[in-house]
Structure formats: structure tokens, C-alpha cells
Amino acid sequence: MGHIIAIDGPAGAGKSTIARAIADKLGYTYIDTGAMYRAVALWALRTGTSTADAQRLGQLALSAEIELPGHRHVHLNGEDVTEAIRAPEISAMASAVAAIGAVRAAMVAKQREMARHGNVVMEGRDIGSVVFPEARVKIFLDADPSERVRRRAGELPDEHHGTLAAELAERDHRDRNRAESPLLQAPDAVYLDSTGMTFEQVEEAVLGIVRAKISNGKA
């Protein structure tokens, strides 16, 4: 197994964007775990599987063939679903699906298998605490709730910000309080609050943490 950089944190903290950039900079493979759960949610939606049917969802997760080619695409059972998994209804469903133990067990097994083939940057909610507690570098990327809303809102009109804030608050509560692999900072993870920082500043801070770990003989 190669080197693993684990980046955890709440929704809207910018994990995916920064993890992809760091992977590109270092020549590592980027693994978007959130996209994997979205893929399972998409399949569940297409098959009419309820989020209350934990057994069936676990079966779907086990049998799902998920590939993440080129850092930018998501394939489910041979189909490019990169755009389909970003639909709002999939986002909401993915959070519920990710709280199911059987689904998480299946995804963790797939994530560990992916990491066997080289150096990876992996982001999610429980990468450093559950999936790879032995990760070479662990970072908990956070930001003030209002900052996370602003980043998620993008070009949306101001009147949508209140709804988005409520959705993020609900997501935070669900992620932090779920029974299976709740969102938490691993004891040995470096906490990084990106509030008020530009993307370039966050990128340099993360690269600095990686370099420090390497120079200390921890990676």
C-alpha cells in the first residue's frame, strides 16, 4: 500500500476541490468517497429502493461497480454518472444512504481496495478515523458555517442561501450524530480552519502539512 493522505471535514468545507488539486500536484490518485455514496444513492433511486430498506441498500452497495477515472469522472456499472449524481435529490439521498452500516462497510472495503494500487488522496467524513486510521497524513478541513454556505451557494440568488444554510445544518447534525462512522476529527489529524482563506492559501497550507509530515519521517 502506498502513501495515503486523508482529508475529512463537514459538507461545504471544500474537501473535494482541495483533495483533487493536491492529488494533481503530487501525482497521487484522487478518490472522491462522497461520489461513491452518491452513486449508490443514484442506483437506489433508479431501482425504487427506499432508504428504509437497509438490507437491499447494502446489497446494492456490495454489487455496485464504481470507478473514478481521471479524477473527474464517476462510473457506475460501466455508465458515466458524473453529472447524474450531482442532482439535488441525489445529494439528499446520499446522506441517508451513507448512514447505513451495510452500505458503509461495502464502501470502506472498496475504498481500501482502491488504495492498494498506489499513493492516494482520499476525502470524506471518516477517512482518517475509520477507513484509514494508519493514513500517512490526516487533515480535518473545516470552515465557519456561513463560509460553507457561501461556497456551496456559488452563483445562487441570495434568497436561496437560507434554505442552503438549513440543509447544511441538517447535514452536519446527521453526519455528526449517526451511529455508523460519525463525522469526527481523528486524534492525530491536523485541524485546518479555512474560513477567510483563498483556495490558493488552503492549497499551500495543506501542502505545507504534507511536507512537514514527510520531513518528520511520518510519510
Choosing from 99, 117, 135, the residue where a domain stops is 117
Whether residues 73 and 107 share a domain: the answer is yes
Whether residues 77 and 165 share a domain: the answer is no
The residue behind cell 494508519 is 134
- What confidence score (pLDDT) does residue 219 get? 47
Q: Between the CA of residue 45 and those of 63, 102, 219, what are the distances in Å?
A: 15, 17, 40
Tell me the percentage of the chain whose pLDDT exceeds 70: 93
Choosing from 117, 145, 166, the residue where a domain stops is 117
Whether residues 142 and 109 share a domain: the answer is no
Whether residues 63 and 168 share a domain: the answer is no
Mean pLDDT for 123-152 is 90
Choosing from 70, 101, 117, the residue where a domain stops is 117
Whether residues 92 and 198 share a domain: the answer is no
What is the extent of the structural domain holding 189?
1-28+118-214
Question: How would you class 131 by CB atoms within 10 Å of its CB: exposed for 0-12, middle for 13-18, buried for 19 or more?
Answer: buried
- What confidence score (pLDDT) does residue 167 get? 82
Question: How would you class 69 by CB atoms within 10 Å of its CB: exposed for 0-12, middle for 13-18, buried for 19 or more?
Answer: exposed
Whether residues 42 and 108 share a domain: the answer is yes
Provide the domain count of the chain. Answer: 2
Residue 123 DSSP SS3: strand
Mean pLDDT for 196-216 is 90
Mean pLDDT for 153-162 is 65
Confidence of residue 155 (pLDDT cuts 50, 70, 90): low
Whether residues 46 and 60 share a domain: the answer is yes
Model pTM greater than 0.75?
Answer: yes
The CATH number for 55's domain is 3.40.50.300
Does the pLDDT of residue 60 top 90, yes or no? yes
